[in-house]
Amino acid sequence: MRLNEFIFSQDTRIRIFRHATVWLLLYILGICTYPPMGSGSLYGRGVDGFLVFYRMVLIRVFLMLICQMLFAYIFLYILVPFYLRKKKYVLFGILLLATWFISAVFRFMLYTYVYNPIMLHFHYHINDPNLILLFSIRQTISGPAFIGFIFIALKLTKDWQQKQKDFINLQKENAAAEIQLLKAQAHPHFLFNTLNNIYSFTINRSPQAGELVQQLYGLLNYMMNECNDSYVSLDKEINILKSYADLEKVRYGDRLQLEWDVDGNQGNRSIAPLLMIPFLENSFKHGTSQILKNPWIKLSVKILDERLLFILINGKPNESEPFTLKKGLGLTNVKKRLQLIYGSAHSLEIENYPDHYSVRMEVPLH
Protein backbone atom coordinates (compact mmCIF):
# COMPACT_ATOMS: atom_id res chain seq x y z
CA MET A 1 0.00 0.00 0.00
CA ARG A 2 1.37 3.40 -1.00
CA LEU A 3 1.59 6.22 1.54
CA ASN A 4 -0.75 8.45 -0.48
CA GLU A 5 -3.37 5.68 -0.60
CA PHE A 6 -2.98 5.03 3.13
CA ILE A 7 -3.53 8.69 4.02
CA PHE A 8 -6.23 9.72 1.56
CA SER A 9 -8.14 6.58 0.56
CA GLN A 10 -11.89 6.56 1.32
CA ASP A 11 -12.08 2.76 1.24
CA THR A 12 -13.68 1.58 4.50
CA ARG A 13 -11.07 -1.08 5.24
CA ILE A 14 -8.19 1.30 4.63
CA ARG A 15 -9.83 3.99 6.75
CA ILE A 16 -10.23 1.56 9.66
CA PHE A 17 -6.63 0.46 9.25
CA ARG A 18 -5.49 4.11 9.10
CA HIS A 19 -7.35 5.06 12.29
CA ALA A 20 -6.14 1.96 14.11
CA THR A 21 -2.55 2.74 13.09
CA VAL A 22 -2.78 6.34 14.32
CA TRP A 23 -4.23 5.28 17.68
CA LEU A 24 -1.64 2.54 18.06
CA LEU A 25 1.16 5.04 17.44
CA LEU A 26 -0.36 7.43 19.97
CA TYR A 27 -0.62 4.56 22.46
CA ILE A 28 3.06 3.69 22.00
CA LEU A 29 3.97 7.40 22.25
CA GLY A 30 1.99 7.72 25.49
CA ILE A 31 3.78 4.70 26.99
CA CYS A 32 7.24 5.88 25.96
CA THR A 33 6.72 9.41 27.26
CA TYR A 34 5.02 8.47 30.52
CA PRO A 35 6.94 10.11 33.41
CA PRO A 36 8.98 7.61 35.50
CA MET A 37 7.31 9.07 38.60
CA GLY A 38 3.97 9.65 36.88
CA SER A 39 0.52 9.73 38.48
CA GLY A 40 -0.68 6.35 39.61
CA SER A 41 2.75 5.20 40.71
CA LEU A 42 3.54 4.69 44.37
CA TYR A 43 7.29 5.21 44.07
CA GLY A 44 8.02 5.17 40.36
CA ARG A 45 9.92 3.02 37.91
CA GLY A 46 13.13 2.95 39.94
CA VAL A 47 11.51 1.64 43.14
CA ASP A 48 8.50 -0.38 41.95
CA GLY A 49 10.46 -2.14 39.28
CA PHE A 50 10.30 -1.91 35.51
CA LEU A 51 7.67 -4.62 34.89
CA VAL A 52 5.39 -3.61 37.75
CA PHE A 53 5.53 0.06 36.78
CA TYR A 54 4.78 -0.49 33.09
CA ARG A 55 1.97 -2.89 33.82
CA MET A 56 0.26 0.08 35.41
CA VAL A 57 1.32 2.38 32.55
CA LEU A 58 -0.09 0.06 29.87
CA ILE A 59 -3.49 0.01 31.55
CA ARG A 60 -3.51 3.70 32.41
CA VAL A 61 -2.49 4.95 28.97
CA PHE A 62 -5.00 2.62 27.31
CA LEU A 63 -7.85 4.11 29.36
CA MET A 64 -6.57 7.62 28.64
CA LEU A 65 -6.69 6.79 24.95
CA ILE A 66 -10.31 5.65 25.17
CA CYS A 67 -11.24 9.02 26.69
CA GLN A 68 -9.36 10.82 23.92
CA MET A 69 -11.12 8.72 21.28
CA LEU A 70 -14.52 9.74 22.67
CA PHE A 71 -13.62 13.41 22.48
CA ALA A 72 -11.79 13.23 19.12
CA TYR A 73 -14.57 11.47 17.17
CA ILE A 74 -17.37 13.64 18.57
CA PHE A 75 -15.28 16.71 17.81
CA LEU A 76 -14.16 15.60 14.34
CA TYR A 77 -17.31 13.98 12.94
CA ILE A 78 -20.06 15.97 14.67
CA LEU A 79 -18.89 19.37 15.93
CA VAL A 80 -16.61 20.35 13.03
CA PRO A 81 -18.74 19.31 10.00
CA PHE A 82 -22.19 20.19 11.38
CA TYR A 83 -21.42 23.33 13.38
CA LEU A 84 -17.96 24.82 12.80
CA ARG A 85 -17.99 24.51 8.97
CA LYS A 86 -21.57 25.76 8.83
CA LYS A 87 -20.48 28.82 10.86
CA LYS A 88 -22.73 28.01 13.82
CA TYR A 89 -20.07 29.33 16.15
CA VAL A 90 -22.22 29.80 19.26
CA LEU A 91 -23.63 26.28 19.09
CA PHE A 92 -20.16 24.96 18.32
CA GLY A 93 -18.71 26.62 21.43
CA ILE A 94 -21.54 25.39 23.67
CA LEU A 95 -21.32 21.82 22.34
CA LEU A 96 -17.53 21.88 22.62
CA LEU A 97 -17.79 22.72 26.31
CA ALA A 98 -20.46 20.04 26.69
CA THR A 99 -18.19 17.50 25.00
CA TRP A 100 -15.33 18.41 27.33
CA PHE A 101 -17.68 18.02 30.30
CA ILE A 102 -18.94 14.63 29.07
CA SER A 103 -15.36 13.49 28.46
CA ALA A 104 -14.34 14.56 31.96
CA VAL A 105 -17.27 12.70 33.53
CA PHE A 106 -16.55 9.64 31.41
CA ARG A 107 -12.90 9.76 32.41
CA PHE A 108 -13.77 10.10 36.12
CA MET A 109 -16.13 7.10 36.01
CA LEU A 110 -13.70 5.01 33.94
CA TYR A 111 -10.87 5.54 36.43
CA THR A 112 -13.09 5.19 39.46
CA TYR A 113 -14.95 2.04 38.45
CA VAL A 114 -12.49 0.34 36.06
CA TYR A 115 -8.94 1.50 36.72
CA ASN A 116 -9.05 1.53 40.53
CA PRO A 117 -10.47 -2.02 40.88
CA ILE A 118 -7.78 -3.33 38.52
CA MET A 119 -5.03 -1.57 40.49
CA LEU A 120 -6.42 -2.91 43.78
CA HIS A 121 -6.36 -6.40 42.28
CA PHE A 122 -2.65 -5.95 41.56
CA HIS A 123 -2.11 -4.50 45.06
CA TYR A 124 -1.05 -1.22 43.54
CA HIS A 125 -1.49 2.38 44.62
CA ILE A 126 -4.75 4.14 43.66
CA ASN A 127 -5.71 7.81 43.85
CA ASP A 128 -8.58 9.09 45.96
CA PRO A 129 -11.76 10.26 44.14
CA ASN A 130 -10.99 13.98 44.62
CA LEU A 131 -7.60 13.61 42.94
CA ILE A 132 -9.12 11.53 40.13
CA LEU A 133 -11.73 14.27 39.57
CA LEU A 134 -8.98 16.91 39.40
CA PHE A 135 -6.96 14.84 36.91
CA SER A 136 -10.10 14.16 34.87
CA ILE A 137 -10.84 17.87 34.45
CA ARG A 138 -7.24 18.93 33.82
CA GLN A 139 -6.23 16.12 31.47
CA THR A 140 -9.51 16.21 29.54
CA ILE A 141 -8.62 19.77 28.54
CA SER A 142 -4.97 19.09 27.67
CA GLY A 143 -5.10 15.55 26.26
CA PRO A 144 -8.04 15.77 23.84
CA ALA A 145 -6.88 19.18 22.64
CA PHE A 146 -3.60 17.61 21.54
CA ILE A 147 -5.34 14.65 19.91
CA GLY A 148 -7.92 16.94 18.34
CA PHE A 149 -5.17 19.08 16.83
CA ILE A 150 -3.55 16.00 15.26
CA PHE A 151 -6.84 14.79 13.79
CA ILE A 152 -7.82 18.26 12.54
CA ALA A 153 -4.41 18.61 10.85
CA LEU A 154 -4.87 15.22 9.16
CA LYS A 155 -8.44 16.05 8.15
CA LEU A 156 -7.53 19.45 6.71
CA THR A 157 -4.65 17.88 4.78
CA LYS A 158 -6.98 15.23 3.38
CA ASP A 159 -9.61 17.82 2.45
CA TRP A 160 -7.00 19.95 0.69
CA GLN A 161 -5.72 16.92 -1.21
CA GLN A 162 -9.27 15.97 -2.21
CA LYS A 163 -9.95 19.51 -3.45
CA GLN A 164 -6.78 19.35 -5.52
CA LYS A 165 -7.89 16.03 -7.04
CA ASP A 166 -11.37 17.44 -7.73
CA PHE A 167 -9.82 20.51 -9.35
CA ILE A 168 -7.56 18.38 -11.57
CA ASN A 169 -10.49 16.13 -12.53
CA LEU A 170 -12.58 19.20 -13.33
CA GLN A 171 -9.80 20.54 -15.55
CA LYS A 172 -9.63 17.21 -17.37
CA GLU A 173 -13.40 17.12 -17.83
CA ASN A 174 -13.44 20.70 -19.11
CA ALA A 175 -10.59 19.94 -21.50
CA ALA A 176 -12.36 16.83 -22.77
CA ALA A 177 -15.59 18.79 -23.27
CA GLU A 178 -13.73 21.54 -25.13
CA ILE A 179 -12.02 18.98 -27.37
CA GLN A 180 -15.39 17.44 -28.25
CA LEU A 181 -16.77 20.90 -29.02
CA LEU A 182 -13.83 21.74 -31.29
CA LYS A 183 -14.24 18.44 -33.14
CA ALA A 184 -17.96 19.11 -33.51
CA GLN A 185 -17.17 22.54 -34.99
CA ALA A 186 -14.65 21.01 -37.41
CA HIS A 187 -17.25 18.66 -38.93
CA PRO A 188 -19.61 21.27 -40.44
CA HIS A 189 -16.67 23.48 -41.41
CA PHE A 190 -15.16 20.64 -43.43
CA LEU A 191 -18.56 19.62 -44.80
CA PHE A 192 -19.41 23.08 -46.12
CA ASN A 193 -16.09 23.39 -47.91
CA THR A 194 -16.41 19.96 -49.54
CA LEU A 195 -20.07 20.41 -50.50
CA ASN A 196 -19.11 23.65 -52.17
CA ASN A 197 -16.69 21.68 -54.35
CA ILE A 198 -19.32 19.07 -55.23
CA TYR A 199 -21.84 21.80 -56.02
CA SER A 200 -19.71 23.04 -58.91
CA PHE A 201 -19.82 19.54 -60.45
CA THR A 202 -23.59 19.23 -60.07
CA ILE A 203 -24.12 22.52 -61.88
CA ASN A 204 -22.21 21.18 -64.86
CA ARG A 205 -24.03 17.83 -64.55
CA SER A 206 -20.73 16.08 -64.27
CA PRO A 207 -20.90 12.27 -63.86
CA GLN A 208 -18.17 12.60 -61.24
CA ALA A 209 -20.63 14.24 -58.83
CA GLY A 210 -21.97 10.86 -57.68
CA GLU A 211 -18.46 9.54 -57.10
CA LEU A 212 -17.62 12.63 -55.06
CA VAL A 213 -20.73 12.23 -52.93
CA GLN A 214 -19.75 8.61 -52.24
CA GLN A 215 -16.27 9.69 -51.18
CA LEU A 216 -17.72 12.40 -48.99
CA TYR A 217 -20.00 9.82 -47.36
CA GLY A 218 -16.96 7.75 -46.42
CA LEU A 219 -15.23 10.77 -44.90
CA LEU A 220 -18.27 11.84 -42.90
CA ASN A 221 -18.90 8.28 -41.70
CA TYR A 222 -15.35 8.23 -40.35
CA MET A 223 -15.71 11.63 -38.70
CA MET A 224 -19.08 10.95 -37.11
CA ASN A 225 -18.68 7.32 -36.07
CA GLU A 226 -14.98 6.61 -35.61
CA CYS A 227 -13.63 9.88 -34.21
CA ASN A 228 -15.50 9.82 -30.90
CA ASP A 229 -12.55 8.24 -29.10
CA SER A 230 -9.61 10.30 -27.86
CA TYR A 231 -7.26 8.47 -30.22
CA VAL A 232 -7.74 6.66 -33.54
CA SER A 233 -5.60 4.28 -35.55
CA LEU A 234 -2.81 6.12 -37.37
CA ASP A 235 -3.25 4.14 -40.58
CA LYS A 236 -6.96 5.07 -40.70
CA GLU A 237 -6.15 8.73 -40.16
CA ILE A 238 -3.62 8.66 -43.00
CA ASN A 239 -6.08 6.84 -45.30
CA ILE A 240 -8.72 9.48 -44.59
CA LEU A 241 -6.14 12.14 -45.41
CA LYS A 242 -5.53 10.41 -48.76
CA SER A 243 -9.28 10.16 -49.41
CA TYR A 244 -9.70 13.86 -48.83
CA ALA A 245 -6.78 14.64 -51.16
CA ASP A 246 -8.36 12.41 -53.84
CA LEU A 247 -11.68 14.19 -53.33
CA GLU A 248 -10.05 17.56 -53.92
CA LYS A 249 -7.84 16.42 -56.80
CA VAL A 250 -10.91 15.72 -58.97
CA ARG A 251 -11.45 19.47 -59.35
CA TYR A 252 -7.98 20.12 -60.64
CA GLY A 253 -7.34 17.12 -62.86
CA ASP A 254 -3.85 17.06 -64.30
CA ARG A 255 -3.20 20.68 -63.35
CA LEU A 256 -2.46 19.76 -59.72
CA GLN A 257 0.97 18.44 -58.84
CA LEU A 258 0.57 16.51 -55.58
CA GLU A 259 3.60 14.82 -54.04
CA TRP A 260 2.74 12.35 -51.30
CA ASP A 261 5.25 10.63 -49.03
CA VAL A 262 4.45 8.40 -46.06
CA ASP A 263 7.44 6.81 -44.35
CA GLY A 264 7.66 4.57 -41.27
CA ASN A 265 5.71 1.85 -39.52
CA GLN A 266 2.07 2.85 -38.99
CA GLY A 267 1.03 -0.36 -37.22
CA ASN A 268 -0.14 -0.38 -33.59
CA ARG A 269 0.09 3.39 -33.33
CA SER A 270 -2.66 5.90 -32.68
CA ILE A 271 -3.11 9.65 -32.86
CA ALA A 272 -5.74 12.21 -31.92
CA PRO A 273 -8.28 12.33 -34.80
CA LEU A 274 -8.63 15.04 -37.43
CA LEU A 275 -5.36 16.84 -36.75
CA MET A 276 -3.85 16.72 -40.25
CA ILE A 277 -6.93 17.25 -42.46
CA PRO A 278 -7.44 20.94 -41.49
CA PHE A 279 -3.94 21.78 -42.75
CA LEU A 280 -4.51 19.97 -46.05
CA GLU A 281 -7.92 21.56 -46.37
CA ASN A 282 -6.40 24.97 -45.76
CA SER A 283 -3.69 24.37 -48.39
CA PHE A 284 -6.39 23.79 -51.03
CA LYS A 285 -8.65 26.63 -49.90
CA HIS A 286 -6.12 29.43 -49.40
CA GLY A 287 -3.34 28.25 -51.70
CA THR A 288 -4.02 25.85 -54.52
CA SER A 289 -7.50 27.11 -55.41
CA GLN A 290 -6.13 30.61 -56.00
CA ILE A 291 -3.37 29.51 -58.37
CA LEU A 292 -4.56 29.45 -61.95
CA LYS A 293 -1.50 27.70 -63.38
CA ASN A 294 0.50 24.81 -61.98
CA PRO A 295 -0.85 24.49 -58.39
CA TRP A 296 1.29 22.19 -56.25
CA ILE A 297 1.29 20.54 -52.83
CA LYS A 298 3.99 18.50 -51.13
CA LEU A 299 2.88 16.40 -48.18
CA SER A 300 5.14 14.26 -46.01
CA VAL A 301 4.21 12.05 -43.05
CA LYS A 302 7.10 10.41 -41.23
CA ILE A 303 6.82 8.04 -38.25
CA LEU A 304 9.98 8.47 -36.18
CA ASP A 305 9.99 5.98 -33.29
CA GLU A 306 7.09 7.15 -31.13
CA ARG A 307 6.54 10.51 -32.83
CA LEU A 308 4.86 11.68 -36.01
CA LEU A 309 6.33 14.41 -38.20
CA PHE A 310 3.84 16.07 -40.55
CA ILE A 311 5.19 18.50 -43.16
CA LEU A 312 2.94 20.25 -45.68
CA ILE A 313 4.16 22.76 -48.27
CA ASN A 314 1.94 24.30 -50.90
CA GLY A 315 2.27 27.05 -53.47
CA LYS A 316 0.40 30.33 -53.34
CA PRO A 317 -0.37 33.20 -55.71
CA ASN A 318 2.25 35.87 -56.13
CA GLU A 319 -0.01 38.41 -54.50
CA SER A 320 -1.69 37.02 -51.41
CA GLU A 321 -2.92 38.24 -48.06
CA PRO A 322 -0.52 37.64 -45.16
CA PHE A 323 -1.21 34.20 -43.72
CA THR A 324 -1.76 33.83 -39.97
CA LEU A 325 -2.88 30.97 -37.78
CA LYS A 326 -6.04 32.85 -36.87
CA LYS A 327 -7.25 32.70 -40.45
CA GLY A 328 -9.87 30.00 -40.74
CA LEU A 329 -11.90 28.12 -38.14
CA GLY A 330 -10.22 24.80 -38.91
CA LEU A 331 -6.69 25.98 -38.12
CA THR A 332 -7.80 27.81 -34.99
CA ASN A 333 -9.52 24.67 -33.72
CA VAL A 334 -6.64 22.35 -34.47
CA LYS A 335 -4.23 24.65 -32.65
CA LYS A 336 -6.45 24.60 -29.55
CA ARG A 337 -6.85 20.84 -29.74
CA LEU A 338 -3.11 20.30 -30.02
CA GLN A 339 -2.56 22.36 -26.89
CA LEU A 340 -5.32 20.60 -24.93
CA ILE A 341 -4.33 17.07 -25.95
CA TYR A 342 -0.55 17.20 -26.15
CA GLY A 343 0.46 20.38 -24.31
CA SER A 344 4.20 21.02 -24.48
CA ALA A 345 4.77 17.56 -26.03
CA HIS A 346 3.85 18.86 -29.50
CA SER A 347 5.34 21.45 -31.82
CA LEU A 348 3.67 23.44 -34.59
CA GLU A 349 5.35 25.84 -37.00
CA ILE A 350 3.42 27.66 -39.72
CA GLU A 351 5.39 29.88 -42.06
CA ASN A 352 4.35 32.26 -44.83
CA TYR A 353 7.03 32.57 -47.50
CA PRO A 354 6.88 34.74 -50.65
CA ASP A 355 5.95 31.81 -52.88
CA HIS A 356 4.57 29.13 -50.55
CA TYR A 357 3.06 28.20 -47.19
CA SER A 358 4.78 25.72 -44.89
CA VAL A 359 3.38 23.69 -41.98
CA ARG A 360 5.53 21.53 -39.72
CA MET A 361 3.77 19.61 -36.94
CA GLU A 362 5.26 17.04 -34.60
CA VAL A 363 3.18 15.06 -32.08
CA PRO A 364 3.76 11.97 -29.93
CA LEU A 365 2.13 8.69 -30.98
CA HIS A 366 0.41 6.21 -28.68
The neighbour count for residue 261, using CB atoms within 10 Å, is 10
Query: What distance in Å separates the CA atoms of residue 144 and residue 141, rounded to the nearest whole number?
Result: 6
The neighbour count for residue 50, using CB atoms within 10 Å, is 10
The ranges of the chain with pLDDT < 70 are: 1, 3-4, 7-8, 37-49, 125-152, 154-156, 166-194, 197, 200-201, 204-207, 286-292, 318-330
Torsion of CA 199, 201, 206, 211, to 10 degrees: -80
The neighbour count for residue 254, using CB atoms within 10 Å, is 6
Query: What distance in Å separates the CA atoms of residue 282 and residue 316, rounded to the nearest whole number?
Result: 11
User: In this predicted structure, what is the pLDDT of residue 151?
Assistant: 65
Query: What distance in Å separates the CA atoms of residue 315 and residue 246, rounded to the nearest whole number?
Result: 18
If you ran DSSP here, which 8-state letter would residue 337 be given? Answer: H
Packing angle, helices 89-110 and 129-203, rounded to 10? 130
DSSP string, 177-217: HHHHHHHHHHHHHHHHHHHHHHHHHHHTT-THHHHHHHHHH
Sorted by where each starts, the structural domains of the chain and their CATH numbers stand as: 3-168 (no CATH), 180-364 (3.30.565.10)
Q: Are 124 and 59 in contact (CB under 8 A)?
A: no
Q: Are 240 and 281 in contact (CB under 8 A)?
A: no
Q: Could you report the per-residue pLDDT of 166-206, keeping only the tens digit for each? A: 666 656 655 555 545 445 445 555 666 667 767 766 776 66
- What burial letters (b/e) apply to 80-89, b meaning 16+ CB within 10 Å? beebbeeeee
Contacts of 135 (CB under 8 A, 6+ apart): 39, 107, 111, 127
Mean pLDDT of the chain: 76
Please provide residue 287's backbone torsions phi and psi, each rounded to the nearest 5 degrees: -120, -75
